[in-house]
Amino acid sequence: MDVEILSRIQFAFTIAFHYIFPPLSIGLGLMMVLFEGNYLITKNKKYEQLARFWTKIFAVTFGLGVATGIVMEFEFGTNWATYSRYVGDIFGSALAAEGLFAFALESGFLGILLFGWNRTSPPVHFIATVGVWIGSMFSAVWIVVANSWQQTPTGYHIVGEGMDARAEIVDFWAMVFNPSSVDRVLHVWNGSLLAGAFMVLSVSAWYLLKKRHVESSKSAFKIALMVATTCSLLQLVSGHSSAEVVAEHQPAKLAAMEGHFDSSKPADLYLFGWVNREAQKVTGLAIPGGTSFLLHQNFDTPVTGLNDFAREDQPDAVNAVFQFYHIMVSIGMILIALTLCACFYLWRGKLFQTQWLLWVFVPSVLLPQIANQAGWFAAEMGRQPWVVYNLLRTSDALSKSVQAGQVLFSIILFGIVYFILFLLFIYLLNKKIQHGPEELDTDTSDMYTDKLSPAK
Amino acid sequence: MTELEYFLGLDYNTWWFLVVGAVFSGYAILDGFDMGAGALHLFIKGDENRRIAFNAIGPVWDGNEVWLVIGGGTLFAGFPEVYATLFSAFYIPIILFLVLLIFRAASIEFRSKEEMSWWRTTWDVSYCISSILLAFILGILLGNVMQGIPLDSDFEFAGHWLGFLNPYAIIVGFTTLALFMMHGAIYLSLKTKGKLLTKVTHFVRYTVIGFVIMFIILSFYTMLYLPEQTQIFKEHPTLFIVPILMVLTISNITRLIAHRKYFPAFLFSGITICLLLIVAALNLYPNILVSTVAEANTLNIYNAAASQKSLGIMLTIASIGAPLAIFYSLFVFWVFRGRVELDEHSY
C-alpha cells in the first residue's frame, strides 16, 4: 500500500475514534448545566445527585477526548505536510482561536468542575460547569469552520505556483463565514447534543427498568427528552439546509450521496439502495424526483450528476458515500420518531410504565453515535479527491519525507493503543453506570479518590 | 517578500516568534512539573502516598496539556513551514510522543478506579515510564532543533529517519528529564506534608544535583562540539547575564528548600526553565529550523511565516485570548492551592 492510502486510513481511524468523545462531552456538558442549574433553582438534592453523577461520566469522555485530540492536531504536520503548508495561513488563525478561546476555557474550568464541589460555592461551581460546556461548544465551532473552509473555500487568494502554491487569507470573516460553515456548525452541535441527550436517556431508561434511582432517573429522562426532541427536529432543518449548500457548492458530493449520474434528469430520493457505479444504476427504493423536489421544490428539475465530472474529479467511493449518507439520514428519522413517540406517552402520563419503549431507549445511545460517524464519513469521502475542494488534491497533500513503513508503524501502534483504550472506556463506563448516582449527599466526587482504601 | 508590518518597533514575525516561544515556555513550566512528578512516581512508596502524588497534579494536568495544543496551534498558525517540516521530519518520535501522552492520560484516569494492587501497580509503572519518555523525547526534539537538521531546497527533511538520535540531542534529552524531575519534585514539596514531604525534599536535593551535572555536561559538550552555539555570547557579551542568572537561580533553589520556602523555590525552578529556553531562542533567532545542508535552506521567521495579514489577525486573537487563558490557569491554581489531603471531605 502506498503512503496516500495508508495516511488516509490512519487519519480516518484516528479521527473516527476521537469523534466518539467530543460529541459526548458537548452533549453531556449541556445535561450537566441543566441538572446543576435545576439544583441551584430548586435546591432539590436529586438534581445535585444527577449533576455529580453525570460529571463523573463526563470526566471519562472528556479525558479521552483530549488525549485523542492532541493526536489529530499533530497529524496534520506529520502526515500532511504539503497540506499544512498550503492551508497554514488560513487554518492557523482558526486553530489559534480554538486553542486560546475554547480549549483554555474548557480545560481551565474542568479542574474545578471535577474536583471543586467542596472547594467552591455552588454558584461558582455552576459557572465552571457552564464554562466547560461553552468551551466545548466553541471548540467545535473553530474546527468545523476550518473543515468547512476546506469544503467551500472563500476569503483567500492563491500565491505561488505548483509546489509553492499557498492559500493566503484575504478576508478573515469571509473565511470564518464561508458558505457551509454556519450550517455545518449547527449540524455538528445538534448531533453532539443528541449524543449526550441519548446517553442520558439510555442510562435513565435502564435505571427505570431496573427500578433503581427511580426519582432522579425520571427527572433526568424528562430533561434529556426535551433536549433530544428539540435537537432531532432541528437536525432535520439543519440537515436540509446543509444539503442545499452541498448541492450548490459541491455538486459532485451531492450526486454521490444520492447516487445520481445523469445531469439531464431529475434526481430520485432513495430511502435505501445500492450503487453500481459501472452500470450507473442504483438498486433500491426511491421516490422519483424526490431529491429534485427537496432542492428545487419541483419533481422535474434536473440535478447535476456525476457524469458531469471527469472520473478523476469524482469521489473515489461513490457507493460508500451513498451508504454513509443514507445511514445518517435514516437514523435522523428514527430519532425523530422515537422522541416524538416518547413525548406522546409522557403527555398521556404513561411513559414510565411503558416498558417496551424504555427498552427501546436503552440501546438508543448508539444511534446518534453511528449517525455522527456516518455523517462525517459521507462528508469527508464525498469531498474526495480533494482535500481542499477544487484547489488541492488529497494525493498532493502528503508529507514528502515520510515513508509507507513509518505510517504503517503508526497505524499499528494507534490500533493497539486505541483498542485497549476503548475496552477500558467501555469497562469504566459500565462500572460507573452500574454504580449509579450516590443516593446520599456524602459523596466526595473525586475521580481519584473514589474509594478510600487504607494505606498499605 | 511583502512589506513587513510593525508593532511597537518589532515586526509581526518577531512578535509571533515571541508568542510561540512564550507558549512553549509556558508548556514546559506547567506540564514540566507534572511530567517531573510522574517521572519520580515509582520512587514514592505506598498506595496512599502515590494517590497523594496523583491528586497533587489531578486538577491541573489536563489544563497544562492544553498549552501543548495551543503551542502546536501557534506554530501551525504562524510558521506553517516549520510545523510541516518539523513534524514530518520527526515522524517516529512524534508518533511515540502522542502515544505516550495517551498512555499517561489513561494512567492518571484509570489508576484509582480499581483496588486490585496489580491494576494500580500497572498504571503506576505506565504513568512513570511514559512521563520519563515524554520529557526525554521533548528534550530530543529541542536538541535537534538547536543543532539543526538536514533540509533540502524545498525545506523538506533530507536526513535518515533515525537521525534524531544523536549525541547532542540525547544529552539535551537527559538534561530536560533532569530539569523536569527537579521541577516536579519541587512542585510535590508544595503539595505534600509529613513523612512524604521529608522524602520529597530528598528528591529535590538529588534532582538538583542531577540537573546541575547534566547541565555542566551539556555546556561542555556545546562549547567543544557546537561552538557556533556560543557565537551569540561572543557577539553580545552583555547576554552573558542570562547564563549567570541561571547559575544564581539554581543555587537559590537549594537555599530556599533548606529554608522550607517551597513556593519561591517552585517559582525559581520555573524561571530556570524559562531562562534555558531564552538561551535557546537567542541562539536561534531569527532562524527556527537551521539546515545543516546549506544556509539557504534554513527556515527562519520570515521565509517560514504566514502572511502579514494572517499574523496580524492572530496577534489580535492572541492579545485577547492569552490573558484569558492565563487568568483561567491562575484561577484554577488558586482554587486548589495548599497541600493535598486525602480524607473523605477532601477534593
| Tens-digit pLDDT profile for residues B124-140 | 899 999 999 999 999 99
B121 to chain A, any CB pair closer than 8 A? The answer is no
> 154-193 in A: which are within 8 Å (CB) of B?
159, 163, 168-170, 172
Q: How far is it, in rounded angstroms, from Cα A378 to Cα A370?
A: 12
Of residues B304, B270, B114, B276, the one with CA closest to residue B184:
B270
| Tens-digit pLDDT profile for residues B159-198 | 777 878 888 899 999 999 999 999 999 999 888 888 888 8
Q: How does residue A440 score in pLDDT terms, banded at 50, 70 and 90?
A: low
| Tens-digit pLDDT profile for residues B66-108 | 888 888 888 888 888 888 888 888 888 999 999 999 889 888 8
Q: Is the pLDDT of residue A395 over 50?
A: yes
Task: Report the gap between the CA of A407 and the closest CA in chain B (Å).
Answer: 9
Q: Tell me if B55 is assigned to some domain.
A: yes
Q: Which domain holds residue B119?
A: 8-335
A426 to chain B, any CB pair closer than 8 A? The answer is no
> 68-87 in B: which are within 8 Å (CB) of A?
68-70, 72-74, 76-81, 83-87
Q: For chain A, give the percent of residues with pLDDT over 70.
A: 96
Q: How does residue A446 score in pLDDT terms, banded at 50, 70 and 90?
A: very low
C-alpha cell at B44: 514514592
Question: In this structure, are residues A32 and A136 in contact, taking their beta carbons and an 8 Å threshold?
Answer: no
What single DSSP character describes residue A279? Answer: T
C-alpha cell at B223: 562549547
B221 to chain A, any CB pair closer than 8 A? The answer is no
Q: Is the pLDDT of residue B341 over 90?
A: no
Of residues A185, A200, A283, A183, the one with CA closest to residue A33:
A200
Q: Tell me if B3 is assigned to some domain.
A: no
| Residue A162: exposure state from Cβ atoms within 10 A (0-12, 13-18, ≥19) | exposed
For A401, the closest of B156, B322, B335 (CB atoms) is: B156
Q: How far is it, in rounded angstroms, from Cα B134 to Cα B99?
A: 10
| Tens-digit pLDDT profile for residues A58-84 | 988 888 888 888 888 888 888 888 888
> 101-120 in B: which are within 8 Å (CB) of A?
101-103, 105-106, 108-113, 115
- The verdict on a CB contact (< 8 Å) between A70 and B62 is no
Kindly identify which residue of chain B lies nearest to residue A117, measuring between CA atoms.
Answer: B347
**Please, which residues have CB within 8 angstroms of residue B20's CB and are 6 or more apart in sequence?**
B71, B74, B75, B78, B79
Q: Tell me if B346 is assigned to some domain.
A: no
The pair phi, psi for residue A272, each rounded to 5°, is: -160, 165
Chain A and chain B share a number of CB contacts under 8 A equal to 275
The residue among B62, B130, B315 with the most chain A CBs within 10 A of its CB, best to mutate, is: B62
Provide the CA B14 distance to its chain's centre, in angstroms: 21
- The verdict on a CB contact (< 8 Å) between B109 and A60 is yes
Distance set, CA A164 to CA A82, A92, A153, A282, B295 (Å): 9, 18, 19, 42, 19
Tell me the pTM.
0.86
Q: How does residue B2 score in pLDDT terms, banded at 50, 70 and 90?
A: low
Question: In this structure, are residues A105 and B324 in contact, taking their beta carbons and an 8 Å threshold?
Answer: yes
A428 to chain B, any CB pair closer than 8 A? The answer is yes
> 247-266 in B: which are within 8 Å (CB) of A?
none
Q: Tell me if B187 is assigned to some domain.
A: yes
C-alpha cell at A84: 499544512
**Please, which residues have CB within 8 angstroms of residue A91's CB and are 6 or more apart in sequence?**
A76, A84, A146, A149, B76, B77, B80
Cβ neighbours of A101 in B, within 8 Å? 317, 321, 324
Question: In this structure, are residues A255 and A291 in contact, taking their beta carbons and an 8 Å threshold?
Answer: no
Q: Is the pLDDT of residue B248 over 70?
A: yes
Q: Mean pLDDT lowest for which of A368-382, B201-215, B331-345?
A: B331-345
In the 3-class helix/strand/coil scheme, how is chain B assigned residue by residue? CCCCCEECCEEHHHHHHHHHHHHHHHHHHHHHHHHHHHHCHHHCCCHHHHHHHHHHHCCCHHHHHHHHHHHHHHHHHHCHHHHHHHHHHCHHHHHHHHHHHHHHHHHHHHHHHCCCHHHHHHHHHHHHHHHHHHHHHHHHHHHHHHHCECECCCCCECCCCCCCCCHHHHHHHHHHHHHHHHHHHHHHHHHCCHHHHHHHHHHHHHHHHHHHHHHHHHHHHHHHHCHHHHHHHHHCHHHHHHHHHHHHHHHHHHHHHHCCCHHHHHHHHHHHHHHHHHHHHHHHCCEEECECCCHHHCEECCCCCCCHHHHHHHHHHHHHHHHHHHHHHHHHHHHCCCCCCCCCCCC
Q: What is the pLDDT of residue A453?
A: 39
- The verdict on a CB contact (< 8 Å) between A104 and B328 is yes
> 104-143 in A: which are within 8 Å (CB) of B?
104-105, 107-112, 114-120
Q: Tell me if B2 is assigned to some domain.
A: no
Cβ neighbours of A403 in B, within 8 Å? 161
Rounded to an integer, the average pLDDT of A10-26 is 93
Cβ neighbours of B119 in A, within 8 Å? none
Provide the CA B344 distance to its chain's centre, in angstroms: 35
- The verdict on a CB contact (< 8 Å) between A84 and B83 is yes
Q: How does residue A37 score in pLDDT terms, banded at 50, 70 and 90?
A: very high
- The verdict on a CB contact (< 8 Å) between A99 and B73 is yes
Distance set, CA B112 to CA A54, A87, A443, B65 (Å): 18, 43, 16, 21
Angle at A37 between CA A32 and CA A38, to 5 degrees: 105
Of residues B236, B72, B233, the one with CA closest to residue B138:
B72
> 361-400 in A: which are within 8 Å (CB) of B?
399-400
| Residue A355: exposure state from Cβ atoms within 10 A (0-12, 13-18, ≥19) | exposed
Angle (deg, nearest 10), helices B12-39 and B308-335: 30
- The verdict on a CB contact (< 8 Å) between A421 and B106 is yes
Q: Tell me if B1 is assigned to some domain.
A: no
Residues in chain A: 456
The residue among A95, A387, A412 with the most chain B CBs within 10 A of its CB, best to mutate, is: A95
B153 to chain A, any CB pair closer than 8 A? The answer is no
Task: Report the gap between the CA of B66 and the closest CA in chain A (Å).
Answer: 7
Q: What is the pLDDT of residue B339?
A: 74
Q: What is the pLDDT of residue A454?
A: 39
Question: In this structure, are residues A61 and A32 in contact, taking their beta carbons and an 8 Å threshold?
Answer: no
Task: Give how many domains chain B has, as a whole number.
Answer: 1
Q: What is the pLDDT of residue A442?
A: 42
Q: Mean pLDDT lowest for which of A2-11, A361-370, A439-448, B260-269?
A: A439-448
Q: Is the pLDDT of residue B342 over 80?
A: no
Q: What residue ranges do the domains of chain A occupy?
A: 3-435
Question: In this structure, are residues A86 and B82 in contact, taking their beta carbons and an 8 Å threshold?
Answer: no
- The verdict on a CB contact (< 8 Å) between A71 and B158 is no
In the 3-class helix/strand/coil scheme, how is A207-227 assigned residue by residue? HHHCCCCHHHHHHHHHHHHHH
C-alpha cell at B146: 538547536
Q: How far is it, in rounded angstroms, from Cα A26 to Cα A65?
A: 11
ipTM of the complex, rounded to two decimals: 0.80
- The verdict on a CB contact (< 8 Å) between B77 and A82 is no
Q: How far is it, in rounded angstroms, from Cα B217 to Cα A451?
A: 46
Of residues A184, A139, A201, the one with CA closest to residue A367:
A201
Q: Tell me if B343 is assigned to some domain.
A: no
What single DSSP character describes residue A195? Answer: H
Question: In this structure, are residues A354 and A218 in contact, taking their beta carbons and an 8 Å threshold?
Answer: no
The residue among B60, B66, B315 with the most chain A CBs within 10 A of its CB, best to mutate, is: B66
Q: What is the pLDDT of residue A226?
A: 93
Q: How far is it, in rounded angstroms, from Cα A41 to Cα A405?
A: 58
Q: Is the pLDDT of residue A233 over 80?
A: yes
Q: How far is it, in rounded angstroms, from Cα A362 to Cα A386?
A: 40
Q: Tell me if B297 is assigned to some domain.
A: yes
Q: Is the pLDDT of residue B53 over 90?
A: no
| Tens-digit pLDDT profile for residues B296-337 | 788 888 887 878 888 888 888 888 888 887 887 788 777 777
For B306, the closest of A89, A98, A108 (CB atoms) is: A89
Task: Report the gap between the CA of B71 and the closest CA in chain A (Å).
Answer: 9
- The verdict on a CB contact (< 8 Å) between B72 and A421 is no
Mean pLDDT of chain A: 86
Q: What is the pLDDT of residue B96?
A: 92
- The verdict on a CB contact (< 8 Å) between A77 and B84 is yes
Q: How far is it, in rounded angstroms, from Cα B271 to Cα B284?
A: 20
Q: How does residue A13 score in pLDDT terms, banded at 50, 70 and 90?
A: very high
B126 to chain A, any CB pair closer than 8 A? The answer is no
Task: Report the gap between the CA of B323 and the closest CA in chain A (Å).
Answer: 9
| More confident position, A47 or B297 | A47
Q: How far is it, in rounded angstroms, from Cα A21 to Cα A369?
A: 10
Q: What is the pLDDT of residue A444?
A: 42
B161 to chain A, any CB pair closer than 8 A? The answer is yes
Bridging pattern class, strands A281-287 and A386-388: unpaired
Kindly identify which residue of chain B lies nearest to residue A18, measuring between CA atoms.
Answer: B102
The residue among A25, A57, A86, A89 with the most chain B CBs within 10 A of its CB, best to mutate, is: A89
**Please, which residues have CB within 8 angstroms of residue B334's CB and are 6 or more apart in sequence?**
none
Kindly identify which residue of chain B lies nearest to residue A399, measuring between CA atoms.
Answer: B88
Question: In this structure, are residues B111 and A129 in contact, taking their beta carbons and an 8 Å threshold?
Answer: no
B58 to chain A, any CB pair closer than 8 A? The answer is yes
| Tens-digit pLDDT profile for residues B217-240 | 988 888 888 777 777 777 777 777
Taking the CB of residue A315, how many other CB atoms lie within 10 A of it?
25
Task: Report the gap between the CA of A354 and the closest CA in chain B (Å).
Answer: 35
For A107, the closest of B66, B84, B108 (CB atoms) is: B66
For B87, the closest of A70, A74, A101 (CB atoms) is: A74
C-alpha cell at B87: 513534524
- The verdict on a CB contact (< 8 Å) between A88 and B84 is yes
Taking the CB of residue A158, how many other CB atoms lie within 10 A of it?
13
Q: How far is it, in rounded angstroms, from Cα A254 to Cα A153?
A: 17
Q: For chain B, give the percent of residues with pLDDT over 70.
A: 97
A456 to chain B, any CB pair closer than 8 A? The answer is yes
Helix (H) or strand (E) holding A273: strand A269-276
> 398-417 in A: which are within 8 Å (CB) of B?
399-403, 406, 409-410, 413-414, 417
**Please, which residues have CB within 8 angstroms of residue A290's CB and are 6 or more apart in sequence?**
A267, A268, A269, A299
Cβ neighbours of A447 in B, within 8 Å? 58, 109, 112
